[in-house]
């Protein structure tokens, strides 16, 4: 595995790979890799001749008061894991490479970024779309793999890629979970096993919501209040939102008649967690 | 010359050209081609193995009340001119190809877009950076050629390309002028020969400003008021701005100690014209 720190160097390596007629599959990450990331890298390994992974904790997607400074950084361990998965290139820029002095340009996808995470974190997606546009221009992949765990991010990035005609195929891979059901997240490192057990109520709430929808409940308010009850019952949880939205447009859904995304953002002992699950309505209405 | 209307088709043609190890030089235009555009195409012909030109009147860079609807369109003539210059590809998308239903993404370069043209036309550069980012992703050129006539546009695009790591070299080619000195513009088609003569006062004013700076005048207010007097003297002119800015950062300049851009936006008989000239300070101060 070759570590590349400069954007221009990565671009010229990518151009060479393309000229040779080989394809690049890319997984952008913020490091602190867990089994969720590794599942994306394994998927990339099947999709491209060359696999590139980036590790960059992107400051523009953190809001004021968020955990940018204390975001977990485990670079040496990350590198070992990526080598084991036969990754070809690690793109590892620093802040001055990504946002040099005089930097002025932002990519913004409107509408779908003003709900859910975008409502709670107003500048978050602008940071995400900007850094992903940059990374795609630098690594020039044929395929890029994102996780379903950040469902809204995957939808926003797919929209941005289509809108700006970026020549890459976006793949969204399933969420990987702890045995307890908790979605894997780099922020789970902040937790003890006991906290992980409590945090799993988020997934159990979402699953219960899906069951209700599958069984024919179409009133999204009813579903949300049942999920709310389950998560609220767990000790130390503060709910930011529980929401049911169209799985493609993220429009808010009152009556569930098509596939929806049930999503939740919950603070557990001060650490903010998100999770989601898709659900299709059952045949009977009620 | 091959005319391509679909973005995906153009991308796959571009990818094939790249795989063959050939380079692409690109000139984006809004059509109504004049000798200024043709000089950019001739420059592109020297810079790339393959020359691509786009013609697209980009609605997102026109403000409300601007001349989007009446903007001159001379497609058949444009095509003949481009064929004569041995252009390989004409990318000719329509609105629904560039901004399909559900379109949500914009590229914005801040700071340098809030002065000069950006101050008079607040949404203009957002439209320019968005469409240019899209066109660069579609045509995938090695080199793209822009005109110095739109000086601020060239600076904004260069900044956007650097910030977003778009792998293209930006070339800025000199302004082509009428014999009278008036900068060529598609909007000159709105004019009679007599109006063209009157409109040439803009260039004469700018030239006088450069003379003053060359001769050692460092007070930008003095230079501006002299240019203002010259343009104001011509019949039918309404001045939007005359401004002296740092040639690289577009910061407003009071005391001229380094290379500056002198720029003007003037309405003549209701048609808005812009022009600019660079000037370096003389050796003597005054």
- Three-state DSSP at B241 gives strand
**Local confidence band at B282 (pLDDT 50, 70, 90 cut-offs):** confident
* Residue A282 pLDDT: 82
Q: Which residue of B has its CA nearest to A107?
A: B107
pLDDT of residue B127: 98
- Using one digit for the tens of pLDDT, what is the confidence trace for A4-58? 999 999 999 999 999 999 999 999 999 999 999 999 999 999 999 999 999 999 9
Which chain B residues are within 8 Å of A129, Cβ to Cβ?
105
Cα–Cα distance for residue pair B152/B149, rounded to 1 Å = 9
- Residue of chain B with shortest Cα separation from A129: B105
Positions of B marked active-site: 37
A215-242 pLDDT per residue, tens: 999 999 999 999 999 999 999 999 999 9
Nearest residue to A217 (alpha-carbon basis) of A195, A190, A244, A179: A244
Q: State the best of B9, B96, B107 to mutate against chain A, taking most chain A CBs within 10 Å.
A: B107
pTM of the model: 0.95
Residue A285 has pLDDT above 50, yes or no: no
Show residues of chain B in contact with A11, CB under 8 Å. 165, 167
Contacts of B7 in chain A (CB under 8 A): 165
Q: Report percent pLDDT > 70 for chain A.
A: 99
| Domains of chain A with bracketed CATH | 2-173 (3.40.50.620), 186-277 (3.30.1300.10)
The pLDDT mean for chain A works out to 96
Nearest CA in chain A to B11: A167
A252 is catalytic: no
pLDDT recorded at residue A127: 98
CA dist list (Å): A212 to A223, A245, A248, A272: 7, 15, 21, 26
Residue-wise pLDDT tens digits, B38-92: 999 999 999 999 999 999 999 999 999 898 999 999 999 999 999 999 999 999 9
In angstroms, what separates the C-alpha of B121 from chain A's closest C-alpha?
18
Tell me whether residues A137 and B105 touch, CB distance under 8 A: no
Q: Considering only CB atoms, which chain B residues are within 8 Å of A164? A: 105, 107, 130, 133-134, 137
pLDDT tens for each residue of A166-213: 999 999 999 999 999 999 999 999 999 999 999 999 999 999 999 999
The whole-angstrom separation of Cα A228 and Cα A243 is 10
Q: What is the ipTM metric for this complex?
A: 0.94
Task: Judge: B165–A11 Cβ closer than 8 Å, yes or no.
Answer: yes
Q: How far is B182 from chain A (nearest CA, A)?
A: 33
From CA A128, how far away is CA A120, in angstroms rounded?
Answer: 15
């Amino acid at each position: 595995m070759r570590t590349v720190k400069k954007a221009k160097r990565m671009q010229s390596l990518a151009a060479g790979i393309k000229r040779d007629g080989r394809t690049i599959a890319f997984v952008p990450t913020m490091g602190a890799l867990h089994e969720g990331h590794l599942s994306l890298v394994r998927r990339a390994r099947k999709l491209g001749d060359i696999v590139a992974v980036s590790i960059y904790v992107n400051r523009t997607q953190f809001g004021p008061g968020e955990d940018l400074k204390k975001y977990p950084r485990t670079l040496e361990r990350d590198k070992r894991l990526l080598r084991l998965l036969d990754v070809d290139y690690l793109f590892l820029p620093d802040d001055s490479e990504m946002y040099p002095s005089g930097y002025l340009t932002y990519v913004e996808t409107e509408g779908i970024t003003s709900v859910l995470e975008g409502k709670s974190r107003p500048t978050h997606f602008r940071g995400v779309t900007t850094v992903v546009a940059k990374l795609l221009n630098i690594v020039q992949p044929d395929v890029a793999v994102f996780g379903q765990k950040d469902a809204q991010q995957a939808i926003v990035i797919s929209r941005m890629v289509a809108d700006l005609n970026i020549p890459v195929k976006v793949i969204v891979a399933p969420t990987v979970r702890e045995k307890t059901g908790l979605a894997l997240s780099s922020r789970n490192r902040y937790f003890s096993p006991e906290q992980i057990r409590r945090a799993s109520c988020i997934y159990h709430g979402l699953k219960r919501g899906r069951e209700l929808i599958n069984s024919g409940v179409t009133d999204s308010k009813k579903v949300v209040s049942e999920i709310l009850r389950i998560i609220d019952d767990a000790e130390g949880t503060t709910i930011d939102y529980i929401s049911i939205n169209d799985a493609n447009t993220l429009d808010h859904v009152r009556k569930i008649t098509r596939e929806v995304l049930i999503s939740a953002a919950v603070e557990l002992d001060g650490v903010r967690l998100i999770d989601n699950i898709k659900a299709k309505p059952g045949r009977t209405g009620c």
